[in-house]
Structure 1
Amino acid sequence: MTRPPRRLLVAVNPAASFGRNRAVGPAVVERLTREGFEVAMLREANFELLRREAESAFAQGTDGLIVVGGDGIVSLGVNLVAQTGVPLGMVATGTGNDFARGLGLPHDDPAAAIEALVAAVGRPPHAIDAGVIRPGELRTWFANVVSTGFDAVVNERSNRMSRPRGASRYTIALVRELATFRPRTYTLTIDGVPRTQRAMLVSVANNSSFGGGMQIVPHADLTDGLLDVFIVHPLSRAGLIAVFPKVFAGRHTDHPAVEFVPARHVRIEADDIVAYADGERIGPLPIEVEIVPGAVSIFR
């Protein structure tokens, strides 16, 4: 019989949703404490300080890590718990919350998310897949999507914008990048098979969505032991504008310029492209991406 976790770390992103949900972290701690858990809250002035504090506290041992925020802090959590067996839980308070969406957790109601978490920590955790990225000797884990094309360029612009404060910031950045973006030439090696082609974007998905609910791979499964390579072949500006609204609802899958390739290992090479994973900047291509089945234990 699985012993319920008793000691929990709660890491709170101070900048999630531009600070609009600052009260949620203390509410999570108070609720878990009432349930009888020993809880330590980590909340720093900025994300880099939080990362360092979380790494230090995690290394001292815990029965579970709870993250409060959006997909940025999910990235922090996944990189701490992957292959350790320590379960990860979340209360979604960010602008995108794609990880919560993929898990079927509340993603737009913090109070409901807290109650879902309390119920989940009383049950045995579930195992889900995670991807690992290797640019050179470095290694980064991801739960959702790696972006290496038009979507990554949009992410670069979105991260430089201070307004608007919400999911629409990504959409506005997308519209602005449409004016100048051109297809890139990629060299892909998918499960050992090389191919060179022009494309608007190449993304590698573990989860179904990114960018606050854009269903780029509606059929993605967090437990199938596979990645899904999402390729958009060259399109005119008008064609790209026509496709992107369909992505939000997952209605782009039969478009002739769209291709999905299941894979376990992918190498991506292209000039002048910076990769992003779960909204976090990874660095310039080339990168190698691999799925690790069951790498992350989840309170769900």
Structure 2
Amino acid sequence: MDYFFIVNPVAGLGKGLKVWEKIENYLNKEKIKFDYKITEYPKHATEIAKDVVKKGYKVLISVGGDGTTREVADGIEDKDISLGIIPAGRGRDLPRTLKLPKNPLDALKLILKNSKSIEIDHPKVNDERFVNFCGVGLDAEVAKVANTKYKGFGTLSYLIAFLEVLIKWKVPEFVIEVEGKVRNIKAYLITIANGKFAGGGMQISPYSNMEDGLLDIVIFHNMTKLKLFFNFPRVYFGGTHMKLDVVEHIRTKDIKINFKENITTQADGDLVDGTTKHFKIDGKKIKVFVSENY
């Protein structure tokens, strides 16, 4: 079996390249046949993946963060192609859901063993696909600030950015449509989840199942900033925030969200423009390697 690696060298503040050097050394030492390409600009991983699939490769391996994996997945149209993930980003949220090893070499060995794989949903937001989750509102703004101002702080970057954004945040109004029912709500954030984790370890959607054909919508409705400040950290402790009366959970194949202002929206860490967002599951799947205890 031939393996093709798509490597984002700047993932994790340059960690991607360091991880790749270890992977490449191991592959050469073990005399394993492989090819690879280093990404050079945004969306390059998608272009590479599309080209590689045409050449007949059956295993594509993303070396980078969740954004890199999203781009590689975008280039896979054939569900006979298997996607491997070697985490090299800061957040590691998708690998957490898939229970992949933290150690890159262990993640590689799992793929080389051709171990367990599953077919996961590959949802859409407007005309773009995502793999793990989308955030609308506060959490998306926090991710944007963390990635632009506090990159060097690791997981702490999200906490620092959260405090900065919360102080200035005005709770926006949304119009949401689920299965034909339209509602007006005020909410700090709306998470549209395929996976369980977001923001570098927050178990924002603990009931998500990536194989069930449904999106899990988690809404933090309007509350005092003080209440949010004391309760939001519960997302790091087994998802106990889901018990709060101000948190709503919806499961659906399709949700439309409209808002007057251009509220920040992100899909697997990448910003998505526009004031109308249509999230849906349309039946497309991708095959990914997971841990044997998934």
Q: TM above 0.5, one fold?
A: yes
CA deviations over 1:105-134 (Å, ceiling 9, x no partner): 11x322322222222xx2463211121111
TM-score (norm 1): 0.88
C-alpha spacing 1:65/1:36, structure 2 compared with 1 (3 Å): same
State whether residues 29 and 39 of structure 1, in contact with CA within 8 Å, keep that contact through their aligned partners in structure 2: no
**Equivalents in 1 of 2:116, 2:148: separation in Å?**
40
**Equivalents in 2 of 1:94, 1:111: separation in Å?**
15
State whether residues 83 and 295 of structure 1, in contact with CA within 8 Å, keep that contact through their aligned partners in structure 2: no
State whether residues 196 and 204 of structure 2, in contact with CA within 8 Å, keep that contact through their aligned partners in structure 1: yes
Q: 1:191 aligns with which of 179, 184, 206?
A: 179
**Equivalents in 1 of 2:275, 2:77: separation in Å?**
24
State whether residues 148 and 275 of structure 1, in contact with CA within 8 Å, keep that contact through their aligned partners in structure 2: yes
Amino acid aligned to 2:203: Q
What RMSD in Å do the two structures reach over aligned CA positions? 2.1
Partner residue in 2 for 1:216 = 204
**Equivalents in 1 of 2:289, 2:190: separation in Å?**
31
Does 1:103 find its partner at 2:98? yes
Partner residue in 2 for 1:279 = 269
C-alpha spacing 1:210/1:67, structure 2 compared with 1 (3 Å): same
C-alpha spacing 1:37/1:176, structure 2 compared with 1 (3 Å): same
Displacement, 1:45? 4.2
Does 1:69 find its partner at 2:58? no
Amino acid aligned to 2:273: G
Partner residue in 1 for 2:280 = 290
Displacement, 1:204? 0.7
State whether residues 91 and 117 of structure 1, in contact with CA within 8 Å, keep that contact through their aligned partners in structure 2: no
Amino acid aligned to 2:107: A
Partner residue in 1 for 2:250 = 261
C-alpha spacing 1:157/1:96, structure 2 compared with 1 (3 Å): same
**Equivalents in 1 of 2:260, 2:226: separation in Å?**
24
State whether residues 178 and 256 of structure 2, in contact with CA within 8 Å, keep that contact through their aligned partners in structure 1: yes
Superposition misfits of 4+ residues, deviation over 3 angstroms: 29-38, 44-61
C-alpha spacing 1:169/1:124, structure 2 compared with 1 (3 Å): closer
TM-score (norm 2): 0.90
**Equivalents in 2 of 1:110, 1:156: separation in Å?**
26
State whether residues 154 and 174 of structure 1, in contact with CA within 8 Å, keep that contact through their aligned partners in structure 2: yes
C-alpha spacing 1:162/1:200, structure 2 compared with 1 (3 Å): closer
Q: 2:152 aligns with which of 164, 181, 185?
A: 164
Displacement, 1:176? 0.3
**Structure 2 unaligned regions, length at least 5:** none
**Equivalents in 2 of 1:99, 1:124: separation in Å?**
16
**Equivalents in 1 of 2:54, 2:172: separation in Å?**
42
Does 1:117 find its partner at 2:117? no
State whether residues 7 and 36 of structure 2, in contact with CA within 8 Å, keep that contact through their aligned partners in structure 1: yes
**Equivalents in 2 of 1:190, 1:220: separation in Å?**
18
CA deviations over 1:273-292 (Å, ceiling 9, x no partner): 13111111111220111114
Amino acid aligned to 2:222: P
Q: Secondary structure at the match of 2:161?
A: helix
C-alpha spacing 1:25/1:218, structure 2 compared with 1 (3 Å): same
State whether residues 191 and 265 of structure 1, in contact with CA within 8 Å, keep that contact through their aligned partners in structure 2: yes
Displacement, 1:77? 1.7
State whether residues 32 and 118 of structure 1, in contact with CA within 8 Å, keep that contact through their aligned partners in structure 2: no
Amino acid aligned to 2:72: G
Q: Secondary structure at the match of 2:272?
A: strand
The total of aligned residue pairs comes to 288
